[in-house]
Structure 1
C-alpha cells in the first residue's frame, strides 16, 4: 500500500515527559494531563493513559467522519454516539500491540442505513486510514 500524501492544514503538537508514567501537554496548553499506567498494567491508574487518549481521539474523529458521510448521503445522524475501545497487549513476537473496537449508535436511521454509514465513515476517517492494515479495528452498530 503506497504512503498517502496529505496537504496539511493543521498540525497538533504534544510533548510527553517520563513516557507512560509522567505528563503530556500540547504546545498551546489546551491539553495538559498526568499519564500513568492503568492498574491492569501494574501502574497506579491515577492519571489517564495513551490508550484512553487514542480512544478519545479516534471516537471524536470517527464521529466527524460519520457527519461528513451523513451530509453526503442526506442522512440524519443527530443523537449518534461513537465509542472507541482501545486494547493493548503483548504480541507473539514479544512486543506490544493495539486493538480497536468502534461501536456506533445512530438512532435516527434503520439498521441497514446505519451499517452503511459506519462502513463509509471508516473509509473517510483519518484514524481509520492510519490504522488500516496495521491493527485490528472492529466496527459494530448498536
Structure 2
C-alpha cells in the first residue's frame, strides 16, 4: 500500500515537472463547424479548408473528407519526420521513405468505437533489418505514437 502510494506520488511529481519543463514549439488551430457528417474545417491560417462528410462505408456519399482520413495523413506525416530522426540516430542511409496509412474506425461487441492504424512502410536504401530498427525507434520518437500508445491498435508492415 505504501509502495503504491509512493509510486503514485512520484508519478504525479514527474508529470508536474514535465509540464513545467515543456516548451511549446507550435500550436495548430482549426475551427470545426458541424460534425463528421456535414461539417467544415478551416485552419486559422486558411491553408486547410475542408468539407466533412460520411464515407460510403458508413452510409454517406463519400464525397468529402472524414476525420479518419485526416488522422491517417497527420499521423503518417508525423511518423515520417520521426523516421528521418531515427535514421540519423542510427546512421542508416535511408534515401527516401513512404507510408501507406490506413486508419479504421471499428466498433466492438459493446458498441464502443475504437481505432486501428496500419502502416505499410517502405524505406529506400536500407535492408529490411535496418528498416525494422529505424521504424521501431521512430515509433518511440513520434509524438502521435507516444500520444496514442496503449489507446489504439497500431500495426505496421515493412515493404
TM-score by length of structure 1 reads: 0.93
User: Which is helix-richer, 1 or 2?
Assistant: 2
2:132 equivalent in structure 1: 115
TM-score by length of structure 2 reads: 0.84
CA deviations 1:76-122 (Å, max 9, x no partner) are 22221122110002123312111001221012101100001000000
2:123 equivalent in structure 1: 106
Counterpart of 1:33 (choices 31, 44, 50) is: 50
Counterpart of 1:16 (choices 18, 27, 32) is: 32
Q: Aligned equivalents of 1:134 and 1:28: distance in 2?
A: 31
Matched, 1:130 2:147: yes
SS in 2 for 1:112: helix
Q: Aligned equivalents of 1:109 and 1:74: distance in 2?
A: 11
Post-superposition offset of 1:132: 0.2
Q: Aligned equivalents of 2:108 and 2:30: distance in 1?
A: 27
Matched, 1:67 2:84: yes
Q: Structure 1: state its 5+ residue gaps.
A: none
1:43 equivalent in structure 2: 60
> Which ranges of 4 or more aligned residues in structure 1 deviate by more than 3 Å?
1-6
Q: Aligned equivalents of 2:60 and 2:95: distance in 1?
A: 39
Q: Aligned equivalents of 1:68 and 1:12: distance in 2?
A: 22
- Give aligned pairs, total: 142
Q: Structure 2: state its 5+ residue gaps.
A: 1-7
